[in-house]
Amino acid sequence: MARVLVSDKLSTTAVQIFKDRGVEVDYLPDLGKDKDKLLEVIGQYDGLAIRSATKVTEKVIEAAPKLKVVGRAGIGVDNVDIPAASRKGIIVMNTPFGNSITTAEHAIALMFAVARQIPAADASTQAGKWEKNRFMGVEITGKTLGIIGCGNIGAIVASRGVGLKMRVVAFDPFLSPERAATLGIEKVELEELFRRADFITLHTPLTDRTRNIIDAAAIAMMKDGVRIINCARGGLVAEKDLADAIRSGKVAGAGVDVFETEPATDSPLFGLDNVVCTPHLGASTSEAQENVALQVAEQMADYLVQGAVSNALNMPSISAEEAPILTPYVKLAEILGSFAGQLTEEPIKEVEILFDGSPAGMNTRALVAAALAGLLKPQMQSVNMVSAPLMAKERGIAVSEVRRDKTGVFDGYVQLTVKTEKQSRSVAGTCFSDGKPRFIQIKGINMEADVGSHMLYTANKDIPGVIGELGMTFGRKGINIANFHLGRDHEGGNAIALLYLDGPLSEEFLDEVRALKAIGQAKLLTFDV
């Protein structure tokens, strides 16, 4: 019998689900806060069900030889070392949609609280004061609400804003004009949002691109008297810069539910007038707590008892019967999507996936989901095979698939084509008998290339000396090239190269490569292989 530890506060109904499914469960809701005790007992368990208090570090994972699955009741997995779990073959699951409405409602609640200074007015009144003139608020109606990130939660906030008779503008690289029109909002660039918005609310993941997306430079572009709400992730807003802007009067107020360091016992924002702070309550309603707890218990039990995988962040959702044949092509589809996603910076309008030969007879739904997960992951790190199709649909990305009988020299291959307003980009690959994915065509140019963790993609004109110039540049820096793959459309035409590297390159060195006269484009790519 599989055994699960629940180390954070989850609904007791979830505990009963484990028992009903034949899983032994120990409900110790305070154990997650005790790192030493967790390390002492984790080796006894096949599954670990958590919320945010338990930190599943590499040290915890090393101490858990039996552990097969970690289930996070909620969407954020910042407290789980996913790479370490993957290396140990531990599946990490989350519940991506269980608390969307709750988080959106909390953002709206903070917006009202900041607009009318409700917490400070309450404290003043309960202290026996009657300071009507001190608490002069602003109306919500007719104001412009700027939403940064218009995915599942952002779209809910947008609909509430429209219902409040606000003018809603949104910045999201994946939001199509058609989807924006359906929501009744306007898609804008980030700088325009900063200039126009009276209220700004964030609903985007924390990535390298979004970290400190609101800092002193961004605030300088905003209206005087803007109000800022963050119920998404700490680190999206530079807290010191926001505090300085509030003191100067540039920013009239802020509602903050998430912090750079949590638990937040100290912050530059604490003690400032008209800053409303809450302790990461975005998902803290009885309905949301119940939803995510039940969902994570069902997912974990299904995996431990039946081997079914759903909402996994580090493993495709594939049945046990399909796995031996499908898994290599799932990885291939994800890599093709990742290739296109890392090279595409404009909003994506269409995705077409062609299955030629043997893959056409497989579970192409899983392959499409894997390709979309790879495509969207550079922008949304928490996306997985389950959530990717819905996220693509929410962003107005048209997804189509084509199946056909074998047409070429390969037993089968997959081709991914991504279309934006300005261009169409395609990449194709196959799996050989060893199960490893290979690139076989990029931008219509045939080539055969292994897939590595770190690769450099370059595009140039087919002229003499390009290979030598690249090789000399790498040689001068003492950087080894493991493999060098080349292709061109015709003599003297367009040429591409894929360099398989031993490790990542610095931005400074990439700039040197891009500065070479022969190189038209250079992009460092990373793949989970």
- Render pLDDT for 20-46 as a digit per residue (tens, 0 to 9): 999 999 999 999 999 999 999 999 999
d(CA 65, CA 161): 49
Surface-to-core class of residue 99, CB atoms within 10 Å of its CB (0-12 exposed, 13-18 middle, 19+ buried) = buried
Comparing C-alpha atoms, which of 137, 138, 186 is closest to residue 161?
186
Active site residue 280: yes
Q: Where are the domains of the chain?
A: 1-96+285-304, 117-272, 320-524
Residue ranges of alpha helices (H) inside 377-445 are 388-394
CA dihedral (45, 48, 53, 56) in degrees, to 10, reads 80
Degrees (nearest 5) of the Cα angle 193, 196, 197?
75
Mean pLDDT of all residues in 327-353: 93
Comparing C-alpha atoms, which of 517, 478, 467 is closest to residue 501?
478
Coil, helix or strand at residue 399: strand
d(CA 255, CA 112): 9
Secondary element (H or E) of residue 494: strand 494-501
Q: What is the pLDDT of residue 289?
A: 83
Residue in the structure block whose two tokens are 């906030």 = 157
Close Cβ partners of 393 (under 8 Å, ≥ 6 residues apart): 399
To the nearest 10 degrees (0 to 180), the angle between helices 12-20 and 286-306 is 20
Q: Which two tokens stand for residue 134?
A: 């001190």
d(CA 302, CA 310): 9
May I ask the CATH architecture of the domain 1-96+285-304? 3-Layer(aba) Sandwich (3.40)
Mean pLDDT of all residues in 195-208: 94
Q: What is the pLDDT of residue 316?
A: 67
Q: Which two tokens stand for residue 265?
A: 């016992």
Give me the residues paired with residue 437 across strands: 431
Q: Which of 203, 233, 395, 438 is catalytic?
A: 233
Q: Specify the range with the lowest mean pLDDT, choosing from 77-86, 299-308, 354-363, 386-395.
A: 386-395
Give me the residues paired with residue 70 across strands: 48, 92
Model pTM?
0.64
**Same fold: 117-272 with 320-524:** no
Q: What is the pLDDT of residue 504?
A: 86
Q: 310 falls in which pLDDT band (50, 70, 90)?
A: confident
- On the question of pLDDT at 493 being above 80, the answer is yes
Pairing label, strands 226-230, 251-256:
parallel
Active site residue 106: no
Q: What is the pLDDT of residue 480?
A: 87
Mean pLDDT of all residues in 57-61: 95
Q: Which of 139, 191, 262, 287 is catalytic?
A: 262
Q: Which of 280, 394, 395, 438 is catalytic?
A: 280
- On the question of pLDDT at 17 being above 70, the answer is yes
Q: Which two tokens stand for residue 474?
A: 């790498």
Amino acid, single-letter form, for residue 326: L
Q: Give the count of beta carbons closer than 10 Å to the beta carbon of residue 517.
A: 10
For 62, 105, 155, 162, 479, the CA distances from 182, given in Å and listed in that order, are 48, 21, 10, 12, 50
For 32, 359, 402, 416, 499, the CA distances from 413, given in Å and listed in that order, are 46, 7, 12, 10, 22
> Looking at the domain 320-524, which fold is it?
60s Ribosomal Protein L30; Chain: A; (3.30.1330)
Q: Domain 117-272 - what CATH class?
A: alpha beta
Degrees (nearest 5) of the Cα angle 426, 427, 430?
145
Q: What's the chain's average pLDDT?
A: 91
Active site residue 491: no
Portion of the chain with pLDDT greater than 90, in percent: 62
Are 227 and 111 contacting, i.e. CB atoms less than 8 angstroms apart?
yes
